Structure 1
């Protein structure tokens, strides 16, 4: 029996080369049981015409499947599903057993709930995705990233690829961060003072585990990065949420019994406020007076397209009391999950040991790929290209916001990739956001950023890192219509 050519189609969302897509279609058909042993595949000419691709592409795909024993060739008769092809498993899920464990009592701690929201997994299918922190494929340097990844997989880098570093990191990546990335923020650090993490979120978790306990107190900004607040709740420390103003975190509101101060001085999350130099020095003085440690999350400093950013708080630190958190997730892509911690050697030593106990180290081939991408100049080129595009989008967004009568609550002095917005106090942005989804508009409600005691529902964040420039104004028109009905 022959397999109909109509069984095959190319999905516009598929990844990989055409040859790989054809191989995957046939392999999945066999493994799922749709294609049976002995069934004949369409001829390469017929399948190529059906899919509108080159015949040689189909032939190469068939040849690869033949080599892997998925297909067999019968002279001039064509290709058939091989008798040696993997047999789809016959699996019947067992009936649910009568569990006797009361998990509500068995679990010492629970980690569900919290304020951290989830972005829709299908956000790319939305026409107007005003969401923050997602990558734009049109801006990413796929070609050079692929070359760096292939180089990292080469024989020369076999040790970097396969070595169990235990509590260490790729020396090439550490060297680049120490010699190039940190000096741009005015920071000087030795390799012993740098630790690679699985993104900024992992870095903040390591910090909270080491510096905080039930007997200690953390000061956080309000509003702030919601995942940080969730992490601190799980650490069971005392939390003091301090309202930020137009200049960020006010040092005078930090109480004397505070042990750790979390702050985003260069680009406050989410209001985008930038802390002036005078207040930065005052914050350092306040931390010194009460003998507290400061944790500086310096996200998005690369996205400074309006003017050069202020030096990092860490660069002003002479006491060694600032722990610096950086990340490549916003500047490259969030799925990379690679960041770094910079701090005094005694602290980094403990962070290194804790990381080793939990996950040993981030994958070596990922670290080496990033090291090549940075050291060969591709990273800086992408930053310049991305910053230019974000500047254009922000200009369009600000013009559209003015045109449609929307209200800006905060925008980064140096740039960034989002604008903090404010609706009428009577508006619940979570409700508005849900009502806009059927119109293919995604906006991010601001309530989760606020501490529960001071939760405000009329704020929202508009990201512009992953929305096409020509869709900004039409999307904001729909948002304005939902907020300001005529």
Structure 2
């Protein structure tokens, strides 16, 4: 790569070169420790004499901006490489919009490993010890071979056909979803699927309904798209369909494992929701984020499998079953939405990385995904059972578990007055990460309780952690 230097005329070339190199160093464009080209090479590149370059280098060395190393070359001196303070920006025409995005919270972001509590009940996270890295490595090598055999072109925005077919088979088998290779769209996680579907449906001022409590990133996403977000409360059967207002265009639900409380939506409520959506002409987004893990009772049908009018957009993710870092998700879309979302996907990022798509397709087709889910089920089942035992035993004076049959988190409601913010603070000091339910509420009176994620805490760590929680509760609210 050539150093970017331009000359104005052919006079004072050494002075021009000196000033441009000095400004590049002072502004930080030439960072500390950067090696500059040898005088002979730079002179050839610029079409000037070697003496011209040598004079400029000499002045920069005298100014302590460059320093020579015997046998290595000439480098930018470290102590003078800091850039000048930035000038105050001029007023921005879009300042209000920028401020809206800048000030928006970032809920449910996972903290860095070094700041996590020793015993952490964080939701939406899993331990990497369960992931079959050797198998995934083999699938990735296969993906590399597939990529080397194909032309260096962008892929289909809808996703690799081999992966879409594998996903359709998997969710048809595991969740009863009615999907074909033509109805599946591969995304960078379920969050992108949510963004794309809402983007083609929402315009400023339109009405969107979501559960309360519910998934905060969805609520913020809808609000950022200038929708009127209506928070509809849930009861023991799920979303209160009778409270969905007229004029609603989009309804967001988590019917298989309500987030964050955990109860499933009853069959009667599902049929009522589908009927109400048909009456309104509204699209339902079904976020089926972690229901592969089911611990008791017969499997419940997905809402999408009950849909006979093409009103449900079904979203799923592999972040929960595999690794969040892979950023692989999908949407099963009704025909009326498919092409619009496909265009939005292309305009957003063209397509999900093809290498990861090939690897996941092989992983699913060889049966490795189902094997991995079965292995994780055994682990999560034991952790879940132990937390429920403690909630029903020595923690029962303070907390009561919300009935839930799927996923890898559960919630517990406080049935005596407890200062939950103080509990969370003191627990953190005792190296236990606890997460209150209050931040998940948008409008309804928040229920006092905690979310217990058990994907990222070892089975042997659960009792020591809950022992500490019990001790703190005894001090804050003696039984």
Distance in 2 of aligned mates of 1:245 and 1:160: 52
Choose the corresponding residue for 1:446, options 437, 444, 463.
Answer: 437
Alignment root-mean-square deviation, CA: 2.6
1:72 counterpart residue number:
none
When the two structures are aligned, how many residues end up with a matched partner?
A: 406
Query: 2:412 is paired with a residue of what secondary structure?
Result: strand
Residues 1:389 and 1:316: Cα distance change in structure 2 (over 3 Å): same
Once the two structures are overlaid, the 10-residue window that deviates more, 281-290 or 159-168, is: 159-168
Choose the corresponding residue for 1:93, options 63, 82, 88.
Answer: 82
Residues 1:428 and 1:87: Cα distance change in structure 2 (over 3 Å): farther
1:403 counterpart residue number:
394
Query: 1:244 is paired with a residue of what secondary structure?
Result: strand
1:335 counterpart residue number:
325
Query: 1:326 is paired with a residue of what secondary structure?
Result: strand
Listed one character per residue, the Cα deviations across residues 385-417 of structure 1 (whole Å, up to 9, x for unaligned) are 10011111111111122223341342422x321
Once the two structures are overlaid, the 10-residue window that deviates more, 418-427 or 356-365, is: 418-427
2:17 counterpart residue number:
none
Query: 1:461 is paired with a residue of what secondary structure?
Result: strand
Choose the corresponding residue for 1:247, options 237, 241, 260.
Answer: 237
How much has 1:236 moved relative to structure 2? 0.9
Residues 1:136 and 1:117: Cα distance change in structure 2 (over 3 Å): closer
- Residues 428, 458 of structure 1: 8 Å contact kept: no
- Residues 136, 363 of structure 2: 8 Å contact kept: yes
Query: 1:367 is paired with a residue of what secondary structure?
Result: helix
Distance in 2 of aligned mates of 1:161 and 1:133: 37
Choose the corresponding residue for 2:216, options 204, 215, 226.
Answer: 226
How much has 1:164 moved relative to structure 2? 1.0
- Residues 143, 355 of structure 2: 8 Å contact kept: yes
- Residues 128, 323 of structure 2: 8 Å contact kept: no
- Residues 386, 462 of structure 2: 8 Å contact kept: yes
How much has 1:204 moved relative to structure 2? 0.9
1:132 counterpart residue number:
123
2:171 counterpart residue number:
181
Listed one character per residue, the Cα deviations across residues 98-150 of structure 1 (whole Å, up to 9, x for unaligned) are 21323596353422323624332126853211111112122111111111112
1:480 aligns with 2:476: no
Distance in 1 of aligned mates of 2:298 and 2:229: 33
Query: 2:238 is paired with a residue of what secondary structure?
Result: coil
How much has 1:295 moved relative to structure 2? 0.9
5 Å matches for 1:268-283?
268-283=258-273
1:467 counterpart residue number:
457
5 Å matches for 1:81-480?
90=78, 92-103=81-92, 106-109=95-98, 110-111=100-101, 112-114=103-105, 116-122=107-113, 126-154=117-145, 156-159=146-149, 162-401=152-391, 402-405=393-396, 406-413=398-405, 415-423=406-414, 426-451=417-442, 453-454=443-444, 456=446, 458-480=448-470
TM-score by length of 1: 0.78
Residues 1:162 and 1:141: Cα distance change in structure 2 (over 3 Å): farther
How much has 1:239 moved relative to structure 2? 1.4
Structure 1: stretches of 5+ with no match in the other structure: 1-30, 34-81
Structure 2: stretches of 5+ with no match in the other structure: 1-30, 34-69
Query: 2:308 is paired with a residue of what secondary structure?
Result: coil
Q: Which has the larger radius of gyration?
A: 2
1:16 counterpart residue number:
none
Query: 1:108 is paired with a residue of what secondary structure?
Result: helix
Query: 2:171 is paired with a residue of what secondary structure?
Result: helix
Distance in 1 of aligned mates of 2:85 and 2:447: 42
Distance in 2 of aligned mates of 1:293 and 1:305: 30
Residues 1:147 and 1:436: Cα distance change in structure 2 (over 3 Å): same
Distance in 2 of aligned mates of 1:163 and 1:292: 37
- Residues 214, 236 of structure 1: 8 Å contact kept: yes
TM-score by length of 2: 0.79
